[in-house]
């Protein structure tokens, strides 16, 4: 560990139960190369800390790691962040949990992330990385050996449609997912269920078909679109393209769960 390695995070959520197995501490990294229409963390897009006048938002940090009420994002050293993570070690050990690095896109800060992952591994703390998969092969190979579990987003299989709704091509994403599978990494696929965008017969058939060729997917999570992040778009003065979209009903979600249950892995609604 070296105190010279710093990164930018915008939240630390303790006692998380939807970001991997057991009780977890989820660290949210600033910065994301995608611009998904349904993103519920638009404050994560830019990698540097930002100030928003009058937002009056208090993030869920420990008291020793608090931002001003009008700030989103804080620079922190790897040593300082590990101190925060280790505070919850007892809960990890008792529940089979650990730390999840999320975002934003944690792979955008790969050097910082790699240092943290190596330290977690040396301490026996289970680590998960929640990723869009949009990164270079070099970064993927740098990070992967120290990751216990990947939470890998799989959104849209048609490349043109993917680029329309996320701002990037899916080619490198699919390639990286195959690479992780071939490396034997444990993978949970997370599919956002967004009405009329990801939730189409064509897309869901294509996703299921793609997953069926992978060998190390241990679970599929169906993540219903929700409107909980709507207020953030006003607060942070960002365009909300999902104003008229409503979440899927329970019957539709259950039908999708049954559709994916043909795969040789656990399938559940939610993370």
Got the DSSP string for 223-254? EE--STTHHHHHHTT---TTTT--PPPHHHHH
Is the pLDDT score of 4 beyond 60? yes
Is the pLDDT score of 55 beyond 70? no
Q: What pTM does this model have? A: 0.92
Tell me the pLDDT of the chain averaged across its residues. 91
CB-based burial, 172-195: b 16+ in 10 Å, e otherwise: ebbebbeebbeeebebbbbbbbbb
Q: Name every residue whose Cβ is closer than 8 Å to that of residue 257 and which is 6 or more positions away in sequence.
A: 222, 267, 268, 269
Q: Hey, how many other C-beta atoms are within 10 angstroms of the C-beta on 156?
A: 25
Asked if residues 193 and 220 have their Cβ atoms less than 8 Å apart, the reply is: no
Name the pLDDT band for 62 (thresholds 50, 70, 90). very low
Asked if residues 154 and 190 have their Cβ atoms less than 8 Å apart, the reply is: yes
Distance CA 72, CA 28 (A): 11
**Mean pLDDT score, 234-253:** 84
Query: 132 burial class (0-12, 13-18, 19+ CB within 10 angstroms)?
Result: buried
**Mean pLDDT score, 19-33:** 97
Asked if residues 188 and 266 have their Cβ atoms less than 8 Å apart, the reply is: no
**Mean pLDDT score, 103-108:** 97
β-bridge pairing 6-16 and 24-29 = antiparallel
Q: What is the pLDDT of residue 246?
A: 84
Instruction: For residue 99, list its beta bridge partners.
Output: 25, 127
Distance CA 153, CA 130 (A): 8
Name the pLDDT band for 69 (thresholds 50, 70, 90). low
Domains of the chain: 6-269 (3.20.20.70)
Is the pLDDT score of 17 beyond 50? yes
Distance CA 234, CA 68 (A): 19
Distance CA 28, CA 113 (A): 11
Percent residues over pLDDT 70 in the chain: 91
Q: What is the pLDDT of residue 164?
A: 98
Instruction: For residue 224, list its beta bridge partners.
Output: 193
Is the pLDDT score of 57 beyond 60? no
């Amino acid at each position: 560990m070296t105190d010279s390695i710093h990164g930018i995070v915008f939240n630390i959520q303790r006692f998380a139960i939807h970001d991997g197995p057991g009780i977890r501490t989820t660290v949210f990294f600033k910065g994301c190369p995608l611009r998904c229409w349904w993103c519920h963390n638009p404050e994560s897009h830019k990698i540097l800390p930002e100030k928003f006048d009058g937002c009056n938002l208090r993030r869920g940090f420990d008291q020793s790691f608090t931002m001003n009420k009008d700030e989103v994002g804080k620079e922190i050293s790897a040593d300082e962040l590990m101190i925060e993570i280790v505070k919850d070690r007892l809960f990890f050990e008792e529940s089979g949990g650990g730390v999840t690095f999320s975002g934003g896109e944690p792979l955008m800060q790969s050097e910082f992330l790699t240092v943290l992952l190596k330290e977690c591994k040396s301490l026996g703390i289970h680590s998960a990385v929640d990723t869009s998969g949009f990164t270079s092969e070099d970064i993927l190979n740098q990070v992967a050996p120290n990751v216990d579990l990947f939470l890998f987003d799989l959104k849209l299989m048609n490349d043109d449609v993917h680029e329309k709704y996320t701002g990037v091509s899916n080619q490198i994403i699919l390639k990286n997912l195959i690479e992780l599978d071939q490396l034997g990494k444990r993978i949970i696929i997370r599919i956002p269920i967004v009405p009329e965008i990801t939730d189409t017969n064509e897309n869901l058939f294509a996703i299921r078909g793609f997953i069926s060729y992978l060998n190390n997917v241990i679970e599929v999570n169906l993540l219903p679109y929700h409107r909980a992040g709507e207020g953030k778009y006003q607060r942070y003065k960002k365009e909300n393209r999902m104003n008229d979209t409503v979440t899927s009903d329970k019957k539709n979600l259950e039908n999708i769960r049954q559709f994916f249950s043909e795969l040789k892995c656990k399938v559940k609604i939610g993370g």
